[in-house]
Amino acid sequence: MPENKEQLNSGCETPKEEPTVKSTETTYTGIGASRGIAVGECYSFVKEESNHEIRELNDKNTGEEIERFLSALHRSAHELKKIEQVTIRKLGKGYSNLFEAQIMILQDPVLIDAIAGRIQSEHKPAHLVIEEEFDQYLEKFKNSDDLIFQDRADDLHDIKNRIIRNLHVRKLHSWIPEGVIVASNTLSPADIILLSRSNIKGFITDTGGKTSHIALICRSLNIPIIVGLGNISQKVSTGMPMIIDGTTGTVITNPEEETLARYLRKNEEAQKSDADSSLMAALPATTKCGVRITFYANIDFKEELQALTAAGAEGVGLFRSENLFTEGTKVPKESEQYHYYREMAEEIAPMPLDIRLFDIGGDKLMYSPVKEQNPNLGWRGIRILIDLPEILDAQIRAVIRANVHGNLDILIPMIISVDEVLKVRAIVDRHYAELSSECNSQVEKPGIGAMIEVPAAVELIDEITRCVDFISIGTNDLTQYTLAVDRNNVIVQDLFEKFHPAIVRQLHRVIAVAHKNHCKAMICGDMGSDHLALPFLLGCGLRKFSVVASDIPKLKSLVSRYSIAETEALARECLTFGSSAEIKACMEAFEAAH
């Protein structure tokens, strides 16, 4: 039975009912952010911006306007506390922290004083001042070249709209029919939590990304979601038959009978495969010939840790620490980082946790002196951290202080020289020496790893693997920089080819040299989850993978089908080809034979 539909305000407008119009089958492609197939009727749930009357204030009614603003904050916090309780019931304590963070923003005295002060001094209506104050940060988020920071804009936008809507004490509700596929221009974490009480089959949105909070929540709820579909909310209507595939990012409206039958079969096969793979999750990953393979998880937030054990992960191979930047651009304090890392380390111990140092660009810093034309080739990653030692020092000290269980390691992003590694190692040594004498309890020095994601690092792989404890291959950026193809540029998307001979040969070389120098090697890019690439990587000698947690059971199941001798023969054959098509065909033939 679904939960009682109490009148919780998610911030959603009452949906518009539209007549169903039968039309031809149409396919749309977005970003699959939570896998799974859903078949059902669409429900149009478009969120609209509120319109406000512009009125002038005087000395007398500015006080009343400030009271309206404070009351709106109070109502907004009350709503979020209720949503937090629903979240705890559905997902446990972890994701409720998202709403705790939003409540803290609503209670921030600096923000409150700034808005109230401007209402008083400028005689502006509350909604205008709220818009302007929040939009300062939203502008930085939206203009960021980093998809993670673009996703954070959705969360902040939701807080802004919630306060403004509550200025008018409007009763909005989140009830919708059972078992529909929700289509919306944008959704917030609160929307997902509340709408999921109606046994929603899936979600599709105009905006959003794979790393957004709504994507993470849907993955935890096992609800498929496809984001980044442009203006899909304007093209669909309530009652329209629909199929969504969260794995491929495909949306099909008004499917033909043959298409419907095909996806129903595909869904049945996927469910059976998932059931078989889930049996493997708790078991060690072992090849047919008995070689042990280790799978770690890539994560963005500590809330994801609770799902690792069920997925069969043996630790975290990549924690993207730049998500700790509060309000998107504000550098987190050492104390804030320490508590965050310490909590993660304790929850996951004794399993390892690799923390990648802030992989940020100049567009993430409030005081960045330049606006770069191409941040991907500019001031980012370890370059910024070395130039701004106060940021690097604080993060390294926080990691060392939190390493009380000895399970934390540091990953350095965007390495192009040995000098960069040596500088970071010297900083770690210095802070470790200081903290060892300062701390009452013994802390352990974290291991140091290098991200291999730039061709320069591949050329220097022999030298780099002699001065780090481990390497992690970031295939997404390595492919982007090797092929000179922006992976987010739709114009050249077809040239972003992970099976390009140059990429395949680089991977083989990096793994082989790391082994020769007794340096642990791991892959953390999307290629590590690719079912075609898996046997090739095993054949190159790779034994450690860090991937999306939900992919681990399936990958473990695949590993058990292969012997190392077979995969080594596959790797040797792939290395002889001069085109992506030949390499992919070879991998497909190998998969078909197993």
What amino acid positions are annotated as catalytic residues?
213, 524
Give the torsion through C-alpha atoms of 539, 544, 550, 555, to 10 deg: 30
Query: How many CB atoms are located within 10 Å of the residue 223 CB?
Result: 22
Give the Cα separation of 106 and 113 in Å (integer): 12
In SS3 terms, 302-364 reads as HHHHHHHHHHCCCCEEEEEHHHHCECCCECCCHHHHHHHHHHHHHHHCCCCEEEECCCCEHHH
Residues paired with 104 in a beta bridge? none
Give the Cα separation of 121 and 63 in Å (integer): 11
The answer to whether the annotation marks 453 as part of a ligand binding site is: yes
**37-44, strands of its sheet edge to edge:** 26-29, 250-253, 241-245, 37-44, 181-184, 202-205, 225-227, 31-34
Q: Sign (positive/negative) of CA torsion 230, 233, 234, 240?
A: positive
Produce one character per residue of 55-81: b if its CB has 16 or more CB atoms within 10 Å, e if not: eebeeeebeebbebbeebbebbbebbe
The answer to whether the annotation marks 390 as part of a ligand binding site is: no
The answer to whether the annotation marks 466 as part of a ligand binding site is: no
Cα dist. 373→145, 207, 370, 378, 422 in Å? Answer: 11, 24, 9, 8, 30
Give the Cα separation of 49 and 15 in Å (integer): 13
Tell me which H or E stretch contains 297.
strand 292-299
Q: Which residue has the tokens 């090739």?
A: 536
Give the Cα separation of 243 and 155 in Å (integer): 27
The answer to whether the annotation marks 476 as part of a ligand binding site is: yes
At 374, which amino acid appears?
N
At 309, which amino acid appears?
T
Can you read off the two tokens belonging to residue 532?
Answer: 């075609």
Give the Cα separation of 165 and 153 in Å (integer): 18
CA-based nearest residue to 399, from 438, 432, 426, 367: 432
- Is residue 482 within 8 Å of residue 440, measured between CB atoms? no
Can you read off the two tokens belonging to residue 357?
Answer: 């140092």
What ranges make up the beta strands (E) of 358-504? 408-412, 447-452, 470-473
Tell me which H or E stretch contains 42.
strand 37-44
Binding residues for Mg(2+): 453, 477
Binding residues: 320, 356, 453, 476-477, 487
Binding residues for phosphoenolpyruvate: 320, 356, 476-477, 487
